[in-house]
Amino acid sequence: MRKERKPIGRWIGEALLIFLSVIGAFFVDNRREVRSQNIEYLRHLKDFKRDLLNNQGAFNYELNDNYNPVDGQGYIKGSIRKYMFFDSLFRSKTRASADSIMKLINDGAIYGVTPWIFESPQYAILTSDFYSFIKNDTLKSRLALHHRAHESRVNVKRAINSMVRKFESIEDELDWEAGASLGNRSVLFRNTTINTITRLGENYEFLKSMTEQARSRDSLVLIQIDHELELWGELDN
């Protein structure tokens, strides 16, 4: 008995149904994957915003007008004032000035800084894995400026620590039991010492400027993040 053959149209219909089922499943999976990636991107963006807001407090801590030697708050401006005092003492080069300089050094007026830099783990993720997700072009440019500003701060801090190490070798030459002796004055008032302390003061001025710029630029990044969240309909979430 001959086996009944399916009409060609039925074969085509079944093949088309299978094809559409596969395409449909792929489309649904793709939509689900895209949605999942979007949710992850927005999560990283919101976390980055939170980190930036927290760091505004850290900037304010460093730039506080009132220096607290106990917790280091306001150390940038506090150090600038100390180096200005050093500068005034170097101008007279008297025994009294040498006594004051020795006291400042002995009280720890010259010290290194922690190479702390704000570096949210979200930054690297947003600028690599999710950079193409960013709809706001201004945010992209602000993110680049954010990175440069913080790198500049690190470089200045490293320069400060390098100058402090250089001064420590000068400090080793001082005879602390001799006070403002002729030998100590020759060490304190020679060009190498004056230039080292002067450069330290200049680097703290640079650090102040870089920190103010970083704080200002991060505030602009926050504005653009809010705009980005608005474009995604997530500003109030």
39-72 pLDDT per residue, tens? 888 999 999 999 999 889 889 999 999 999 888 8
232, 135 in Cβ contact below 8 A?
yes
Please compute, for residue 152, the number of CA atoms within 13 A of its CA located in the half-sphere on the CB side: 19
Residue 92 sits at φ, ψ, to 5 deg, of: -90, -35
In a domain, 3, yes or no: no
Q: Which amino acid, residue 128?
A: S
In a domain, 237, yes or no: no
Cα distances from 128 to residues 44, 48, 141, in angstroms, run 12, 14, 14
Cα distances from 62 to residues 192, 197, 209, 217, 219, in angstroms, run 29, 21, 12, 16, 16
Range of the domain at 178: 8-231
Between 112 and 1, where is the model more confident? Answer: 112
In a domain, 2, yes or no: no
In a domain, 100, yes or no: yes
Residue 105's closest CA among 116, 97, 94? 97
164, 68 in Cβ contact below 8 A?
no
Residue 119's closest CA among 218, 227, 207? 218
Q: How many domains does the chain have?
A: 1
In a domain, 104, yes or no: yes
Helix (H, G, I), strand (E, B) or coil at 179: coil
For the full predicted model, state whether its pTM sits above 0.75: yes
In a domain, 210, yes or no: yes
Please compute, for residue 65, the number of CA atoms within 13 A of its CA located in the half-sphere on the CB side: 0
Please write the tens of the pLDDT for every residue from 103-152.
999 998 898 887 666 778 888 888 888 888 889 999 998 888 888 888 88
In a domain, 111, yes or no: yes
Residue 119 sits at φ, ψ, to 5 deg, of: -145, 90
Please write the tens of the pLDDT for every residue from 185-227.
999 999 999 999 999 999 999 999 999 998 998 999 999 999 9
64, 70 in Cβ contact below 8 A?
no
Cα distances from 150 to residues 139, 213, 217, in angstroms, run 17, 9, 10
In a domain, 64, yes or no: yes
